[in-house]
């Protein structure tokens, strides 16, 4: 089967949120089914490819993992353009990361496509003893912005696949409704995958 015929649609997903909330861990769990307790700071942008089938549609997911640090913010905002789905990630053991979600929503409103699909993800839900953001608070914020909400654990593989498939399905449904499912305004060429960013190890997840 040729590369062009291998999928019906390509979808660009973007993961955003403060540094250390576990965006990379979630991505590695979903794309590679692996987990590392060692924190890897994402430098700028990195991405993974995952081919999935949703409601009979073969979808090539291009999942971009952004750096949460402020100094990389100017890099990551350019990647909002062309994103068709965005995962807003916070750490349930870190209230500041939860409170930052409003700022990230503001960034989306400034830089992303007006119709972009979004979900809210509370990571590290396995750490019950350290949890400071309740499930109800997450649900309330998600309801306020009209998005789906998932509590996940990259470590214990809880709701990780469900969250990625949830946003993929939402994007697929919207694209099909808009005209046949071709991501016409994705802002990138479909035949050539971009070059991955670099990473360095530093600190803790």
**Per-residue pLDDT in tens (0 to 9) along the chain, 205 residues:** 445 558 889 999 999 999 899 998 999 999 887 666 555 555 555 778 899 999 998 999 999 887 666 555 665 667 788 899 999 999 999 999 999 999 999 989 988 888 999 999 999 999 999 999 999 999 999 999 999 999 999 999 999 999 999 999 999 999 998 875 554 444 333 333 333 344 433 333 4
79-82 LR contacts (CB < 8 Å, sep 24+): 79/14, 79/45, 80/14, 80/107, 80/108, 80/111, 80/112, 80/113, 80/116, 81/111, 81/112, 81/113, 81/187, 82/12, 82/113, 82/185, 82/186, 82/187, 82/188
State the pLDDT at residue 194.
39
The answer to whether the Cα torsion of 170, 48, 80, 9 is positive or negative is negative
Q: Which two tokens stand for residue 203?
A: 């600190």
State the pLDDT at residue 180.
56
Domain made up of 9-195+200-204: CATH architecture: 3-Layer(aba) Sandwich (3.40)
State the pLDDT at residue 79.
75
State the pLDDT at residue 19.
87
Q: Which two tokens stand for residue 35?
A: 């987990």
Query: Helix, strand or coil for residue 88?
Result: strand
The DSSP bridge partners found for residue 10 are 60
The answer to whether the Cα torsion of 112, 102, 199, 24 is positive or negative is negative
State the pLDDT at residue 121.
98
pTM: 0.80
């Amino acid at each position: 089967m040729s590369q062009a015929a291998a999928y019906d649609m390509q979808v660009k997903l973007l993961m955003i949120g403060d540094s250390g909330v576990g965006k990379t861990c979630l991505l590695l769990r979903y794309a590679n089914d692996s987990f590392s307790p060692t924190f890897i700071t994402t430098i700028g942008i990195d991405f993974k490819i995952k081919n999935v089938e949703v409601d009979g549609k073969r979808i090539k997911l291009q999942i971009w993992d952004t750096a949460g640090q402020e100094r990389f913010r100017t890099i990551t905002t350019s990647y909002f353009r062309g994103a068709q789905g965005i995962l807003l990630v916070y750490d349930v053991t870190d209230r500041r990361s939860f409170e930052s979600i409003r700022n990230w929503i503001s960034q989306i409103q400034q830089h992303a496509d007006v119709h972009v699909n979004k979900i809210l993800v509370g990571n590290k839900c396995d750490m019950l003893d350290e949890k400071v953001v309740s499930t109800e608070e997450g649900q309330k914020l998600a309801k306020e912005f009209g998005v789906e909400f998932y509590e996940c654990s990259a470590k214990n593989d809880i709701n990780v696949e469900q969250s990625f498939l949830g946003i993929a399905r939402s994007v697929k449904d919207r694209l099909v409704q808009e005209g046949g499912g071709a991501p016409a305004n994705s802002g990138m060429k479909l035949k050539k995958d971009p070059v991955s960013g670099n990473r360095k190890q530093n600190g803790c997840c």
